[in-house]
Amino acid sequence: MHKSIVVIGSSNTDMIVKASRIPHPGETVLGGKFTVAAGGKGANQAVAAARAGGKVTFIARVGDDMFGERSIIEFARDGIDIEHIIRDPEAPSGVALITVDEKGENSITVAPGCNARLSPRDIEKAEKVISSARILLVQLEIPFETVEKAVEIAFAHNVDVLLNPAPAQPMDDAFLKKVSLITPNKNEAELLTGIRVDDELSAAKAAGILRNRGIKSVFITLGAQGVYTSSPEFRGIIPAFPVKAEDTTAAGDVFNGVLAVSLSKGECLLDAVRFASAAAAISVTRMGAQTSAPYRAEIEEFLKMQG
């Protein structure tokens, strides 16, 4: 069996209102459908990876409350190893308030709760599972020092690190040199490189800067345009699959989780990106974060229909 994927990150409960548009400050927009769904970038990526056939361990903190309880039950149902999920009696589970407009665009406010308390010490306790993984997948919704500790352990044991640099923040070269693969969107790529990314040329320039900072493979997600990929094997845009977007929440997370699975199985980069892009395309046609992550058979079927 292929080696495991360790995902370290946030777990939230998403409260979503679908409205005609996202309100301006001080404005109330009436009408809308309300749903509660499991979310958090780390949890979304772990679930997406597990459903796509990955052997996944998730390291996170959840509150000792009904949201935390429900999250753990659902992770286990998806076949995720939950041994390193900590129940925190001193802080609530993370919560995100999400408004989705009729074009599927979203606006999100997060109360991180116990996600902000996932510590380097928690990561040290999981060193054994990190050191034996094929890929470590991390994002930035938990304290940066915790991400640094995880990346340091992975790097010391020659484990590939896939970094989804979201929410974006500046990072130094010493840290980025330990990252094997990075998946910024346009805005995150601009924050990391100073290059405004709006087409293939600017994406290539931004990717070049990130490669020069020591990262082997760069994937800049460009929404409906596709994924600009820069790696030793390939440079260029891998096109997205055209679908009608209902809700873009977690599309990037699905892409990252499924990309990690394909790479953990040793698939070539182009196939891995295409498979992850297909999963993301399916996810935007559905509401919610984890609820939108497709299963492996659905991705394979979707690709077959694309020809």
In Å, how far are 22, 28, 29, 31, 180 from 25, measured between CA atoms?
Answer: 10, 9, 11, 17, 40
Task: Give the burial class of 15: count Cβ atoms within 10 A of its Cβ; 0-12 exposed, 13-18 middle, 19 or more buried.
Answer: middle
Mean pLDDT confidence for 250-279: 95
Q: Distance between CA 273 and CA 255 in Å, rounded?
A: 8
Task: Give the burial class of 66: count Cβ atoms within 10 A of its Cβ; 0-12 exposed, 13-18 middle, 19 or more buried.
Answer: exposed
CATH value at residue 233: 3.40.1190.20
pTM higher than 0.85: yes
| pLDDT value of residue 1 | 39
| pLDDT value of residue 247 | 79
Considering its fold, how many domains does the chain have in total?
Answer: 1
Lowest mean pLDDT among 60-69, 179-188, 254-263, 282-291: 282-291
Q: Does residue 81 belong to any structural domain of this protein?
A: yes
Q: With 50 as the cut, is the pLDDT of residue 194 above it?
A: yes
Show which residues are catalytic: 253
Q: Does residue 108 belong to any structural domain of this protein?
A: no
Q: Provide the β-strand partners of residue 16.
A: 35, 98
pLDDT band for position 108 (50/70/90)?
confident
| Higher-pLDDT residue of 307, 275 | 275
Range of the domain at 243: 5-11+41-90+113-306
State which H helix or E strand residue 275 sits in.
Answer: helix 269-283
Q: Distance between CA 282 and CA 268 in Å, rounded?
A: 22
**pLDDT (tens digit per residue) in 139-161:** 999 999 999 999 999 999 999 99
Q: Does residue 132 belong to any structural domain of this protein?
A: yes
pLDDT, averaged across the chain: 94
User: How is residue 117 annotated by DSSP?
Assistant: G
CB contact set of 156 (below 8 Å; sequence gap of 6+): 131
Q: Does residue 103 belong to any structural domain of this protein?
A: no
| pLDDT value of residue 3 | 67
**pLDDT (tens digit per residue) in 24-75:** 999 999 878 898 889 999 999 999 999 999 999 999 999 999 999 999 999 9
Q: Does residue 249 belong to any structural domain of this protein?
A: yes
Q: Does residue 35 belong to any structural domain of this protein?
A: no
Q: Are 107 and 98 in contact (CB under 8 A)?
A: yes
